[in-house]
Amino acid sequence: MDEVEEGHLHIKDAQEPSSPKDANQPSPARLKHWKWWFLVIVNIVFLLVGQSVATLLGRFYYDEGGNSKWMATLVQTAAFPILLLPLFAFRSPTITTITTPQTTITAITTPSSLATVIFVYVSLGLLVGADNLMYSYGLLYLPVSTYSLICASQLAFNVLLSYFLNSQKFTPFIINSVVLLTFSTILLAVRGESSGPTGMSVGKYMAGFLCTLGASATYSLILSLMQLSFQRILKKETFSVVLEMQIYTSVIATCVCVVGLFASGEWRGLGDEMEGFVKGKVSYVMTLVWTAVAWQIAAVGVVGLIFAVSSLFSNVISTLALPIVPVLAVIFFHDKMDGVKIVSMLLAIWGFVSYIYQHYLDDYKSNMTRSDVNEVCNATA
């Protein structure tokens, strides 16, 4: 077999099937297609399950006597060491293989400088830490309904940021999905069930409003910057880079939270908080541990969907999890399921299906284009 090496490209003539059995084997492109869908589905499950469980455990923490803002922020990133095992398990060379009917092109990606990569991880980690803290302050100073309503604005922020930073193209189905998911969250938020904190001053209320709005915008910015980093700086096409992104940014965010926990003096009250936890000390520790684990699972799903699809798609799935939480609350906290929650869930499902259908159309069009190219290549061979 002839092989031509030029720079970082290795071009080989494609072998014809040597037997009918070989001819019946699935093509590399088809295998890659199914691997992509499998990766997307796994990350959707990670995001929905992780975010839902973490939210329920967070509510359990506050309901049973927890009140530390920095501790609630710390557990969102502190469990990053559990990702070291899958990181080594999924370690693979950063080589991209492109197969056509006549040739196989293997491209070895050239990584950016170490200083650039470190700068990216540190910057994103600082943003993640600040974003988590703003969410904690927002939830402390706002009623839950108002907090959820403001959080729904992250989709609008992400639409704009994805358009400018990631060249995201919008179709009627994508716009329909964003609108429906936003309405679903708003409908859930304005139902007026949660009374929120009482006796809150106007200054603290405005601080909570601005923190939550800033957190929503920052979260959308983080998603877009992560997608941009995958494309322009990391230049890797392996799942291990997803885990690396999550681990390194979590290290920085966790350091920020530890410094904040000690600098604020909240660490002195953790002993009393554990003693006063309604369900006991063991339940207090296990609540924090499993909250941290659930947030890491959700974060891997977020970053994985950015890597496999786009930051907007990751945000859409994250918003889809919001109406799921009330259903789980009915099961575990015996909350009332009324017509408003049912309508909210139906809107969320409709929006999700609309977005998935757009990806089905894109995939179908891509397959048709690939088929036409193959026919032209076979005709001219």
Backbone φ and ψ of 12, nearest 5° = -125, 145
CA-CA distance, 245 to 312, in Å (whole number)?
18
Query: Which of 150, 154, 182, 224 minimizes the C-alpha distance to 355?
Result: 182
- Quote the pTM value: 0.71
Is residue 173 a contact partner of residue 122, using CB atoms and an 8 Å limit? no
CA-CA distance, 235 to 233, in Å (whole number)?
6
Is residue 205 a contact partner of residue 142, using CB atoms and an 8 Å limit? yes
Structure tokens at 41: 């589905």
Torsion of the alpha carbons at 246, 249, 255 and 260, rounded to the nearest 10: -100
**DSSP 3-state assignment of 327?**
helix
pLDDT of residue 78: 92
What lies within 8 Å, CB to CB, of 346 at 6+ separation is: none
What lies within 8 Å, CB to CB, of 370 at 6+ separation is: 29
Is residue 322 a contact partner of residue 159, using CB atoms and an 8 Å limit? no
Is residue 121 a contact partner of residue 248, using CB atoms and an 8 Å limit? yes
Query: Which of 62, 87, 92 minimizes the C-alpha distance to 333?
Result: 62
Query: Which of 47, 52, 76, 49 minimizes the C-alpha distance to 288?
Result: 76
Pairing of strands 9-13, 95-99: unpaired
* Residue type present at position 37: W
CA-CA distance, 348 to 324, in Å (whole number)?
9
Is residue 315 a contact partner of residue 154, using CB atoms and an 8 Å limit? yes
Is residue 320 a contact partner of residue 48, using CB atoms and an 8 Å limit? yes
pLDDT of residue 208: 80
Query: Which of 79, 123, 125 minimizes the C-alpha distance to 253?
Result: 125
pLDDT of residue 18: 41
pLDDT of residue 358: 77
**DSSP 3-state assignment of 10?**
strand
The H or E element spanning position 97 is strand 95-99
pLDDT of residue 244: 85
CA-CA distance, 241 to 92, in Å (whole number)?
10
Residue 254 burial (C-beta neighbours within 10 Å; 0-12, 13-18, 19+): buried
What's the gap between Cα 274 and its chain centre?
31
Structure tokens at 40: 């997307």
pLDDT of residue 64: 85
Mark the ranges of the chain whose per-residue pLDDT is less than 70. 1-32, 90-111, 143-149, 152-153, 155-156, 166-168, 185, 188-200, 236-239, 311-312, 322-323, 326, 329, 333-337, 341, 370, 372-378, 381
Handedness of CA 45, 46, 51, 52 (dihedral sign): positive
CA-CA distance, 151 to 149, in Å (whole number)?
5
Is residue 251 a contact partner of residue 125, using CB atoms and an 8 Å limit? yes
- Convert the pLDDT of each residue in 94-117 to its tens digit: 444 433 333 444 445 565 788 888
Structure tokens at 195: 């009374």
CA-CA distance, 268 to 69, in Å (whole number)?
13
Structure tokens at 299: 């974060």
Q: What is the DSSP string of 55-71?
A: HHHHHHHHHTT---HHH
